[in-house]
């Protein structure tokens, strides 16, 4: 494992993107538990990208602009959907009532959104198609082991960094949820962030 891979991984993981915004929304709206759940969901969304890269199917995305553009526009459309949902969901940023069923339903929704956000994240597609293979030698005897090791490092880094984002968001939750006006502005900020990321992805070459 090279230091350049670690640096690249940290830059990709820590740079604010759809997954980071989703984790912050979960942490602020539902607390530390939801922030961690979102981090786990976003991390799970990384695994298909890794699997495609290791099995060589990522070459299909690289070779076929149509397939790549389809994935890109699906990701952009989902982020726009998240923006609309965040803006319209008046109960999204609040202190929910206690209850196992409420928590269970909330967790499932957070996991679903988090997995899809990173699954359809073109930034990850580009990383695993264009950058990840450059740190590996396909002709080496230990190619699969090396690929799994680097993939595990990237996945673990995603989980740790996103969990930190979620817990941090939860730590300021009480101060924020006590001020309805701030909640209104936050809802607009998060919705705008999702929308801006979606448009950026859609029009980015």
Length of the chain: 205
The total number of structural domains that make up the chain: 1
Kindly state whether residue 115 falls inside one of the protein's structural domains.
yes
Kindly state whether residue 187 falls inside one of the protein's structural domains.
yes
Determine the pLDDT at residue 41: 95
| Percentage of the chain exceeding pLDDT 90 | 20
Smallest CA-to-CA distance from 115 within 46, 34, 33 is with 46
- pTM score, two decimals? 0.74
Residue 161 structural domain: 3-7+17-203
Kindly state whether residue 90 falls inside one of the protein's structural domains.
yes
Kindly state whether residue 175 falls inside one of the protein's structural domains.
yes
Determine the pLDDT at residue 45: 93
Distance CA 110, CA 91 (A): 14
> Is pLDDT at 126 greater than 80 in this prediction?
no
Kindly state whether residue 12 falls inside one of the protein's structural domains.
no
Kindly state whether residue 21 falls inside one of the protein's structural domains.
yes
Determine the pLDDT at residue 149: 93
CB of 8 closer than 8 Å to CB of 131: yes
**pLDDT tens-digit map of 129-174:** 777 887 877 777 888 888 899 999 999 999 999 999 999 998 888 7
């Amino acid at each position: 494992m090279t230091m350049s891979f670690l640096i690249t991984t940290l830059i990709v993981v820590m740079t604010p993107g759809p997954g980071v915004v989703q984790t912050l929304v979960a942490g602020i709206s539902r607390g530390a538990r939801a922030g961690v759940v979102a981090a786990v969901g976003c991390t799970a969304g990384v695994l298909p990208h890794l699997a495609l890269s290791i099995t060589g199917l990522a070459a299909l995305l690289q070779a076929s602009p149509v397939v790549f553009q389809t994935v890109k526009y699906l990701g952009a459309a989902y982020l726009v959907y998240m923006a609309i949902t965040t803006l319209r969901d008046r109960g999204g940023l609040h202190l929910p009532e206690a209850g196992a069923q409420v928590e269970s339903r909330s967790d499932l929704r957070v996991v679903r959104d988090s997995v899809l956000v990173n699954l359809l994240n073109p930034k990850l597609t580009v990383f695993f198609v264009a950058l990840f293979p450059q740190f590996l030698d396909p002709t080496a005897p230990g190619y699969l082991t090396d690929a799994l090791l680097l993939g595990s490092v990237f996945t673990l880094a995603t989980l740790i960094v996103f969990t930190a984002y979620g817990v941090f968001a939860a730590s300021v939750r009480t101060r924020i949820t006590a001020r309805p006006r701030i909640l209104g502005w936050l809802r607009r900020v998060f919705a705008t962030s999702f929308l801006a990321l979606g448009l950026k992805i859609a029009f980015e070459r």
